[in-house]
Structure 1
Amino acid sequence: MNKQKALVILSPGFPADVNDTNCLPLQQSFVKTLKQSNPQLNIIVISFQYPFKASRYIWYGAQVIALAGKGRGRLFRLFTWQRAFSELKKINDKYEVTGLLSFWMGECAYVGSRFAKKNNLQHYTWLLGQDAKAGNHYVNSIKPQPGNVIALSDFLAKEFRLNYRINPQHIIPVGIDTDLFDTNRVERDIDIMGAGSLIALKQYDVFIKVIKSLTTEFPDIKTIICGKGPEMEKLKKLIIKLGLEKNIELKGELSHKEVLRLMQRSRIFLHTSIYEGNAAVLSEALYAGAHVVSLVKPMEARLAQHHIPDNAEHLPDLLLNLLNDRTLNHDPLLVDTMESIAARVLDLFVHERFADIH
């Protein structure tokens, strides 16, 4: 009896249910699209840390095994790795495993690479952000080959090459699910929008100070920031200190769809992060018809509606020019669909092994 084929995905976290839309939206959209595009392929996700309750469940047709590591310390983490290894062995006994895909060059890639080597399986690691920075001790433990590393952007590939002398052979960027966007045109009544985790890396204090500089010419400028994080109280105090209560609204955490709706109401999406692998919000904002302004250039290709200043000091002038331009094109700009991204990742595994199920 022939075994069914399966692709195993290893991730530090995964949505607890279909309503958990804020948990790694890029990764969950990828898994959902991969399953929808390949209904006969078994997709099994092993989630190491989150959800916090150990369980097995079906999520949009994909099997999810939640180990509930809860981000605990070293002994608990080793136990989680042992459980992951045990689950991989069970899967390998039951299915014909076509390969393993790990999100981030971290613990998932470490366990996945060890299991793949032991069982002669294909394994790819998808570099997704800060894992490409210097100081990632997992890189030396894994010793990845260039052909087994996928970078989310040209920027991350370059960063990883500079820090570890390993040049990722594959660059597969962000894809978006166009079905999530409202097809009805709405008024663009928000001048500038930001969205993301409220952490120091994202530099929302810079965002706020830039808005303050713009109020000289645009005293009634309307801006919003969506997201939650440890910087929330600090940012609230800065807004009050600069007298921007009428200009900047901190929306807190919203559902993914609510954030997309706000993007479609925004003229400009401002991303002040000092380091960015290739944030999905940039591609989403472009498809929402907003002009994007960011400090980091993820891909070498230059897009007409994506503006990148030489440095943060030039942000006010760039934004002023955009705000004064009432002829801005707000048509949706599609970079990549999630369907095309899912197909590119799947093609990395031996394509002919899927031929009979496509």
Structure 2
Amino acid sequence: MYNRKKTLVILSPGFPENEADTTCLPPQQVFVRALKAENPELNIIVLSFQYPFFAAKYNWHGVKVMSFGGMGRGKLFRLNTWMKVWRTLSTLNKKYEIVGLLSFWLDECVFVGHYFARTNNIKHRCWMLGQDAKAGNRYARRIKPRGEELIALSDFIVREFNSNYGVKPQNVIPVGIDTSLFDSLFIEKDIDILGAGSLIPLKRFHLFVEAVAILKQRYPNIKTVICGDGPEKDKLLALIKSKHLENNITLAGELQHDDVLKMMQRSRVLFHPSEYEGFGSVCLEALYAGAKVVSFVKPMDADITNWHIVNDMAGVEQTIHSVLDGTDLENDPVLVYDIRDNVRKMKEVFNI
């Protein structure tokens, strides 16, 4: 006789391949790890569609992970992955008492989760985490989710999705900070400006380079670092060289999550030039690391301490100038959302 243990199943396009893999979806890692730590009696199973690029079953911080190795392949390969996930969900539904399905991003995970939940009378919720709220999401058009099925990462995502699809997500749960991941020792702030994220066109790191070029006129020895990797790397290197900023900007590449946090604690400013952002976890992490944040996108309606929203490059220059000149001296850690509070909100959504 099967033990009908209460189980929450998480559907995700990717998940770390082992506990040492801290570069894969750090905010989701922090959430799942905290969810398990705060609820050790809850059986949590993650079904990962595309990454890791192999099929396996393994334990991750006490959470069972089942990867399907879809590898991002399309058409028949993707359909085959969906069928495997569906069969696995059917098996899990017989073995356990599934208290809910939680899908990360409104994409293929929601497509499978929505219809499996409806077929089997299980609660399903989708955590919308960014670009999935944009217009043109074919999965949103296909399943036409109700507001109660959607959890938005920010107030910005609520407005964006409601504007594009006429449906208002009923819950808002932002990313949260695990304060235990930060070094408690004093770290000298020897980096003037930090950037962190994937080097893709959406993140607009060319504006980071432009900002440094402008600020160098006043601060010749300005020291900046960009953490991350991606297809825009060569373009950024060429731009840095063309503006003679080789001694001012370091491309650090993709770093382990704890190394990025240490880099934040060394930084005075995090400049996040992205043109679109659901709620950048790097911004919240930087605030807790004692850095100021400068960005173009305002995720929440309420103002956040030490987070400066600007409209143009003149605003970027003026704001960072005030920090580097020492007129903005507040460097205490700012904890906006504790991951434990976010876990409790998610538990309320699923009544667990």
TM-score when scaled to structure 2? 0.98
Structure-2 separation of matches of 1:269 and 1:89: 45
SS of equivalent residue, structure 1 residue 45:
strand
Structure-2 separation of matches of 1:334 and 1:63: 30
Give 1:256's aligned residue. Answer: 257
Deviation of residue 320 (structure 1)? 1.1
- Superimposed CA distance per residue, residues 23-71 of structure 1 (whole angstroms, 9 cap, x where no aligned partner): 0011111111111111111000000000111000111111111000000
Give 1:321's aligned residue. Answer: 322
Structure-1 separation of matches of 2:281 and 2:115: 30
Gapped regions of structure 1 (runs ≥ 5) = none
Give 1:297's aligned residue. Answer: 298
Number of residue pairs aligned between Structure 1 and Structure 2: 351
Deviation of residue 123 (structure 1)? 0.3
Matches within 5 A, 1:26-175: 26-175=27-176
Q: Give the letter for the 2:232 counterpart.
A: E
> Is 1:175–1:280's contact at 8 Å kept on the other side of the alignment?
yes
1:345 matched to 2:346? The reply is yes
Deviation of residue 279 (structure 1)? 0.8
SS of equivalent residue, structure 1 residue 325:
coil
Give 1:9's aligned residue. Answer: 10
- Superimposed CA distance per residue, residues 298-340 of structure 1 (whole angstroms, 9 cap, x where no aligned partner): 1111122000112234211221122112551111100111111
Structure-2 separation of matches of 1:220 and 1:312: 20
Q: Give the letter for the 2:252 counterpart.
A: K
SS of equivalent residue, structure 1 residue 168:
coil
Q: Give the letter for the 1:235 counterpart.
A: L
With over 3 angstroms needed to count, the CA separation of the structure-2 counterparts of 1:327 and 1:306, relative to structure 1, is closer
Structure-2 separation of matches of 1:316 and 1:271: 13
SS of equivalent residue, structure 2 residue 331:
coil
- Name whichever of 311-320 and 261-270 sits farther off: 311-320
> Is 1:202–1:272's contact at 8 Å kept on the other side of the alignment?
yes
Deviation of residue 346 (structure 1)? 1.4
Q: Give the letter for the 1:171 counterpart.
A: V
1:236 matched to 2:237? The reply is yes
Structure-2 separation of matches of 1:68 and 1:32: 22
> Is 1:146–1:168's contact at 8 Å kept on the other side of the alignment?
yes
SS of equivalent residue, structure 2 residue 192:
strand
Give 2:307's aligned residue. Answer: 306
SS of equivalent residue, structure 2 residue 100:
strand
> Is 1:295–1:312's contact at 8 Å kept on the other side of the alignment?
no
Structure-2 separation of matches of 1:49 and 1:327: 44
Deviation of residue 285 (structure 1)? 0.2
> Is 2:322–2:328's contact at 8 Å kept on the other side of the alignment?
no
- Superimposed CA distance per residue, residues 189-235 of structure 1 (whole angstroms, 9 cap, x where no aligned partner): 11010000000111110110111000111011000000000000000
Q: Give the letter for the 1:110 counterpart.
A: F
With over 3 angstroms needed to count, the CA separation of the structure-2 counterparts of 1:81 and 1:25, relative to structure 1, is same
SS of equivalent residue, structure 1 residue 229:
coil
Q: Give the letter for the 2:31 counterpart.
A: F
> Is 2:305–2:334's contact at 8 Å kept on the other side of the alignment?
no
SS of equivalent residue, structure 1 residue 281:
helix
Q: Give the letter for the 1:132 counterpart.
A: A
Structure-2 separation of matches of 1:338 and 1:132: 23
> Is 1:155–1:298's contact at 8 Å kept on the other side of the alignment?
yes
> Is 2:154–2:300's contact at 8 Å kept on the other side of the alignment?
yes
1:215 matched to 2:213? The reply is no
Give 1:287's aligned residue. Answer: 288
SS of equivalent residue, structure 1 residue 84:
helix
Structure-2 separation of matches of 1:149 and 1:278: 16
Q: Give the letter for the 2:214 counterpart.
A: S
Q: Give the letter for the 1:208 counterpart.
A: V
TM-score when scaled to structure 1? 0.97
SS of equivalent residue, structure 2 residue 333:
coil
- Name whichever of 1-10 and 107-116 sits farther off: 1-10
> Is 2:211–2:313's contact at 8 Å kept on the other side of the alignment?
no
